[in-house]
Structures are given as C-alpha cells and as structure tokens.
A and B are shown apart, each in its own frame.
Chain A
Amino acid sequence: MTIQKFITEKPWIWSFSATITVWIITVLFTGGASSFGLSQAALTFAAFSVIVGIGQMFVITLGPGNVDLSVPATMTLSGTLALKLMDVQDGMIIVGLLASIGVGLVIGLGNYILIKLLRIPPIIATLSMSFIVQSVAIWSNRGLRIKPPETLASFTTSGLFGIPNIALVALVLSAIAWVLLEKSIYGRWISAIGQSRFAARMAGIPVDGTRLVTYMLCAVLASVCGYLLASFSGGAALNMGSEYLLMSIAVVVIGGTAVAGGNSNIPGIWGASLFMFLVVSMLNTYGFGAGIRLMLTGFIIIAVILLAGGKRSSR
C-alpha cells in the first residue's frame, strides 16, 4: 500500500531502476573492466540530454500540444554563432556564452510570437521557426569548422573528482530547475496551466506571460546545450542537434513527466537520459547492429509509456 503510493508519487523510480539494471548488466558483461569509463561516458552524454530535456519538460508541462521542435536548430545555431564569435580566444568565453543565451531568448520569443499571433499549434509554429533558424545556421556556418577556445574545450572535456564538468553543469541547472518547479510560484503556474489553461486563467494566473517565459527558457537551455556540445566536440556541425529532437522528448516522457501536462519531475530526466545512453552502449557491447539498437529503443519507449501511462490514468 505505502510502497505503491510511493511509486505512483515518484514516477522517476522506473527510469532509475531501469538505468541501474542496464548498468549492472553492461558492467557484468564486460567483466567489470569498463565500469569507470562507462559511467564517465554515460554522465557526459546524458548531461547534454538532461540540459535540453529540462527545457522540453517545462514546455511539455504546459499541457497537450505544447512541444518545442526548434530545439535542434537552436542548438546548432547557438553553437555555430558562439564559436564564430569567440574565434578561439579564451577571453571571449563569457561573451560567447552570453551570445548563445541571447540567441535562445530571441528564438523563444519568436516561437511564442508565432504561436500567439498566428494562433497555430506550437508544433507547427516551432517547426516553421526551426526551418528559419536552421537556414541562419547554415548561412553562418558556411562549412567552416571553427575550434572552441582552448580553455573552454578543456573545461568541457575534463572533470572534477572523476565527475565530468558537463555533468556538474547539468546538475547545477537541474537544481535550479528543481527549485523553480517545486518551490517557486512559476512552477505552480506552469503546472496549473498544464492541467487546465482556462482554470488557470480564471485563478488569476498570467497565462500568456508564463507560457512566453517557458518557451524562452526552453530555447535558452537548448542554446546553452548547443554551446557546450560544440565546445565539447571541438566545433559546431550542422547536424549536431538533430538527434536531440526525439531525444529531448523521449527523456521527458520516459522520465515520468505526464505527456498530458501539469506534472513533471527533474530526477526522472536524469534517469531517462542515463538509461537512453546505457541502453545504446549495452546493445553495442552485445554487438548488436544499429538496426536492432534503434528497434529496441523504440520498443522500450513504448513499453515505458504503457507502464507509466496506465499507472496514472486516474480519470
């Protein structure tokens, strides 16, 4: 009874237990030799998914139909522009970061202007926006691969006490997001809007303002992630964001956030991000090809939805 209540109230339990299982299986299979390296890689790559996933989660919390498809284009544009601006100079690192945050703010604002002004569903608005952003990225990139400043590159690829710096950054961002979500008025507001936009309006919540801030927050997190990813991988590439479109949605959903909105949780995103990376590497260690890997990933997503979705259908 109490255990069941605990589980239903903490939907991230699922993703974490799955993650631990997969980690143990993989480590056992490789005879324990890889456990440190595996954990390091998992933390690093999961961190990128976590950062974009948090933003996407805020948007999805706003309720059915809310999703930001411009995340990959935003990542690419921010990475490209920031590296171009910094131009390998260490002194420009902060300027580059500010520039990429600025890119995020502008894109988020643009997204919500389209949603509000054209009254089109967010999915189409952010899609149209992503086309334009992508073009700007292509135009500014011009096929050149500019390296990140030395300090920034080494920061993103090294770690502190064995924990990758990227993961620490993601942890700090998660902590901030957690406070926003669980403790602040803003968190209450987005949850209320996600449950019933009309009821939220009638309870005195500034619905449009809150939604605008949320879309901007999502775009800023995506652009910060683009900035870090470009620095981590030694330069921006035009397709660097593409895998994060599905990934950002998948980690949110697997992490136990209600797709119907109103309910979200940060720990679940960590569990899901680690899980997604570990599943791929587990299937890799077993020597499965890309095809099987993709298929299993798909089946796992659907299975998790079936499990989690059925649990909370309390209508």
Chain B
Amino acid sequence: MKLSSGTIRLIIPAASLALLLAAVFYMQPRAMSYTGLNLLFNLAVPIALATIAQMLIMSVNDLDLSMGTFVSFCACVAATVLQTSPLLGVLIFIGAIAAYAGMGVLIHVRELPSIVVTLGMSFVWGGLAVLILPSPGGTAPSWARAIMTAKPPLVPMAIVASILIAAVTHYIVMRSSFGVLMRGTGGNDRSVERAGWSVIGIRAATYALAGLFAILAGIALVGLATSADANIALRYTLLSIAGVILGGGEFVGGKVSPIGAVIGALTLTLAGSFLSFMRISPDWQIGAQGAILIVVLALRLALNRLEKREKHQ
C-alpha cells in the first residue's frame, strides 16, 4: 500500500515520542504507572492547546509571536476576573477572540507581516496582563482546577485530554469544510478566492479559533498551577512554534497536522522530564532541548529526501 505524504509526515513525530517514552521508562521504570504518566505529561495539556492555536495561525501562512504573552494574559484573567465574576471574565475572553479576528483582518487587508503585528500585540497582551494581575497571585476557578486534576479510571487526565484535543482539532482542521478552506487558503489563497470564497473571512475565523484555543490553554494552565502571573507562559511562544514543527507542520503551504502538533507538544514536555531523568545538569536542559529540536528536524529532512527519491524512481 502506498503511504500518503500526510501519513509519512506523522511517522517521525510519533516515532520520536515513542522513543523518548521508551527511554524514560527504561531509566525510570516507576514512571510506567498511572501517577508516573500523570506527572510526566501534566504540563502537556496547556502546551498542546497553545500549539494547536499556533498551528491554526500557521495553516494560513502566518506566525503568532504573541502566543506566550496572550496565554499569560488569559491565565491572569482566568485566575482573577473569571473566578470572581464569571460573566465579565467570559466577556473579556469574547473580546480577546474578537481582537484575534481583527488582527487576522488587519494582517490580510493591509498585507502586513504577521510577525510584526503579533510582535506589537505581544506588548499589548503583556501590558494587559500586568494591569489585571500586577503581582503573582490569583486563584484558579474551582471548575478549572477540578477538570485539570480529575482522575479518570485507567488513563491519566493529561493523556485523556491530549487525545480529546487531538481528536477534536483533527475533525475541525482535517475533516470539516472549514478546515479545508483554511488549509486551502494556506496552500493557494488565489484559487480559494477565485472559487468565490472570502479569504478575509476565512482568515478572521482562523485567527478567532486560534484565540479560542489559546484561551483554553490559559485556563488549563491556571487549573494546573492554581495561581497565575503575567509572565507565566512567556516560553509558550517558542514552545508552540517548535511543537508544530516537531509535529510535522510547515511554515508555509497550509501543511499542518493537529495530531502531529499534539504529539509535538507531548514530545517537548517529555523531553524536559527525560533530561532530568538523564541527570543532565539543569544548566544544559535548555540546550539539550535545542539539540533535540535539531535532531528531529534533521531526521525529517532525511525522510523527506528519501520520499522524494522514491518518487523520482
């Protein structure tokens, strides 16, 4: 049977995750348990959600450099306003989604580079976060806490949530009509436009959806961390981009994979745990993450070459 290029694109991320997991189990057999897995993957849920948000933006050939500050902002809102007056909190989130949609429209209409607009927005979200929560604190809404710390039978919450996120976003992005239009816009926006669709509308909706997932990431993060601060998720900008790339997504051309993105996020989370199990000194942890990123990308390049050579023959 011939493998489609989409399937091939998923093999490397899945294999790297499996390999990493095997290595962790080998070094720390106790991790092979309900609590062990929960500990390993706990932080993966917000990262996975943020990665999905970034992937949506990337599917229309843009990049969101404000992801980290936006998730931080959402976490601050979730830990304060959403907890004390839920209605106002929901309104703020709706406003934030509208702001994302507006950003999409602005980028499209004025043909601005998304990197710069989102860079500017990252200051705005950072400022808003500081305004809402000047010093670390706040409390997570009890429901968010309850969801994130739930203990479903057999499989830990983090795994259940990851599978759920992957399934839902796979449906939206890969199966639904909207997903097709979105990826079509990334692949060839002129042809989508010629077919009579509004590319502005598609872009706005994509950005709004990305905003929604980033908000969910913020809430999930607060649910885990119980409190928030304005810098809680700054590294999510880079983590989310790396997660998409690790998961087989590409910067241009609408080539994205939600399942891959979730796997990428899990891999990045696991890489952190793996490095601490390896007893790599904390000094080198970040560097080792960079090295893992490079190795996976090199593997992918090799695989792409192989695929291309087969096609030629």
The interface of chain A, by Cβ under 8 A from chain B, is 64-65, 67, 69, 114, 117-121, 123-124, 127-136, 138-139, 246, 249-250, 253, 259-260, 289-302, 305-306, 309-310, 313, 315
B120 touches A127 (CB 8 A): no
Given contacts A118-B301, A127-B242, contact A309 B112 (CB under 8 A): yes
A313 touches B111 (CB 8 A): yes
Give the most central of B128, B242, B286: most A CB within 10 Å.
B286
B284-305: CB near A (< 8 Å → 1, else 0) gives 1111111101100110010000
B105-132: CB near A (< 8 Å → 1, else 0) gives 0100011110111011111111111111
A138 touches B283 (CB 8 A): yes
Query: Which of A119, A293, A313 interacts with B127 by CB under 8 Å?
Result: A293
Known contacts A138-B283, A299-B123, A305-B116; 15 further A-B pairs (Cβ under 8 A): A120-B297, A124-B241, A127-B241, A128-B297, A130-B290, A139-B281, A246-B123, A250-B120, A259-B113, A290-B130, A290-B134, A297-B127, A305-B112, A305-B120, A309-B112
B286 touches A294 (CB 8 A): no
B124 touches A295 (CB 8 A): yes
Report the separation of the CA atoms of residues A120 and B286 in the bound assembly, to the nearest whole angstrom: 20
Report the separation of the CA atoms of residues A114 and B245 in the bound assembly, to the nearest whole angstrom: 15
Contacts of A250 in B (CB 8 A): 119-120
Complex: chain A residue closest to B289, CB-CB:
A131
Report the separation of the CA atoms of residues A134 and B286 in the bound assembly, to the nearest whole angstrom: 7
Report the separation of the CA atoms of residues A101 and B184 in the bound assembly, to the nearest whole angstrom: 46
A249 touches B290 (CB 8 A): no
B284 touches A135 (CB 8 A): yes
Contacts of B37 in A (CB 8 A): none
B286 touches A131 (CB 8 A): yes
B124-154: CB near A (< 8 Å → 1, else 0) gives 1111111110100000000000000000000
B127 touches A296 (CB 8 A): yes
Task: Give min CB distance, A288 to chain B, whole Å.
Answer: 10
Given contacts A131-B289, A132-B287, A135-B290, contact A121 B120 (CB under 8 A): no
Give the most central of A117, A135, A301, A313: most B CB within 10 Å.
A135
For the residues of B in contact with A, the DSSP-based class is helix
Task: Give min CB distance, A191 to chain B, whole Å.
Answer: 18
Contacts of A305 in B (CB 8 A): 112, 116-117, 120
Contacts of A315 in B (CB 8 A): 111
Query: Which of B106, B251, B286, B294 interacts with A135 by CB under 8 Å?
Result: B286
Report the separation of the CA atoms of residues A208 and B8 in the bound assembly, to the nearest whole angstrom: 30
Complex: chain A residue closest to B251, CB-CB:
A121
Given contacts A118-B294, A128-B294, A135-B290, contact A302 B121 (CB under 8 A): yes
Taking residues whose C-beta sits less than 8 angstroms from the other chain, chain B's interface range is 35 or more
B287 touches A135 (CB 8 A): yes
Complex: chain A residue closest to B63, CB-CB:
A123
B127 touches A132 (CB 8 A): no
Contacts of B134 in A (CB 8 A): 289-291
Report the separation of the CA atoms of residues A292 and B127 in the bound assembly, to the nearest whole angstrom: 6
A127 touches B238 (CB 8 A): yes
Query: Which of A67, A69, A299 interacts with B124 by CB under 8 Å?
Result: A299
17 contacts between A and B (CB under 8 A): A67-B115, A118-B294, A124-B242, A135-B286, A135-B287, A249-B115, A253-B119, A291-B129, A291-B132, A291-B134, A292-B127, A295-B123, A296-B127, A300-B120, A302-B117, A302-B121, A305-B120
A246 touches B119 (CB 8 A): yes
Task: Give min CB distance, B45 to chain A, whole Å.
Answer: 23
Task: Give min CB distance, B20 to chain A, whole Å.
Answer: 17
Contacts of A296 in B (CB 8 A): 127
A134 touches B112 (CB 8 A): no
Contacts of B122 in A (CB 8 A): 246, 298
A302 touches B110 (CB 8 A): no
Report the separation of the CA atoms of residues A130 and B235 in the bound assembly, to the nearest whole angstrom: 13
Report the separation of the CA atoms of residues A160 and B139 in the bound assembly, to the nearest whole angstrom: 53
Report the separation of the CA atoms of residues A260 and B119 in the bound assembly, to the nearest whole angstrom: 15
Report the separation of the CA atoms of residues A291 and B116 in the bound assembly, to the nearest whole angstrom: 20
Given contacts A118-B297, A124-B242, A259-B115, contact A291 B284 (CB under 8 A): no
Contacts of A299 in B (CB 8 A): 120, 123-124
A291 touches B121 (CB 8 A): no
Contacts of B120 in A (CB 8 A): 250, 298-302, 305
Complex: chain B residue closest to A121, CB-CB:
B251
Report the separation of the CA atoms of residues A119 and B251 in the bound assembly, to the nearest whole angstrom: 12
